[in-house]
Amino acid sequence: MKKIFLTGLVLSYLATPVLAGANEGKTFGTVDSIAVSENTFVVKGDDGQVYLFNVNEATDMEKNGSWFDEDIEITDLKTGDRVQVEYLQSSPDFLVADEVEVYPAKK
């Protein structure tokens, strides 16, 4: 019962930025690292910043193909992938990836 309550509490916290009109942003960059078990990934932005993103069940992730986009999961991300991330920021340290668009890695 405690697990269900805590899970509900965490999920409501993750949804809060959407409901509360959290700050929104967008960045372009390269995937630097991925922690699948923590549902996070780090992007080195083209602007020189380093971003830590959290992925949840509401995150829309797509990989650009030559003819169509393919839905993907965090397990499909690879270090070096070029990404565009639209995110919600509920605090200075907490970024939730809203939409992730993945492009082939630069060669």
User: Which residue in the block uniquely carries the two structure tokens 């639209």?
Assistant: 86
Helix (H) or strand (E) holding 10: helix 2-20
Q: How confident is the model at residue 106 (pLDDT cuts 50, 70, 90)?
A: low
Give the tens place of pLDDT for each residue, 21-33.
558 999 999 999 9
Q: φ, ψ for residue 80 (rounded to 5)? A: 100, -15
Look at 6 and 88; give whichever has higher pLDDT.
88
Domain ranges, residue 26:
2-103
Q: In the prediction, which pLDDT does 49 show?
A: 95
* Residue pair 61/72 in contact by the 8 Å Cβ criterion: yes
Residue 34 neighbours by CB distance under 10 Å = 19
Residue 13 is encoded by which pair of tokens?
A: 């916290």
Q: What CATH code is carried by the domain that includes residue 83?
A: 2.40.50.320
Q: How confident is the model at residue 107 (pLDDT cuts 50, 70, 90)?
A: low
Say how many domains are in the chain: 1
Give the tens place of pLDDT for each residue, 41-95.
999 999 999 999 999 999 999 998 767 778 999 999 999 999 999 999 877 777 9
Amino acid at 86: E
What pTM was computed for the model? 0.73
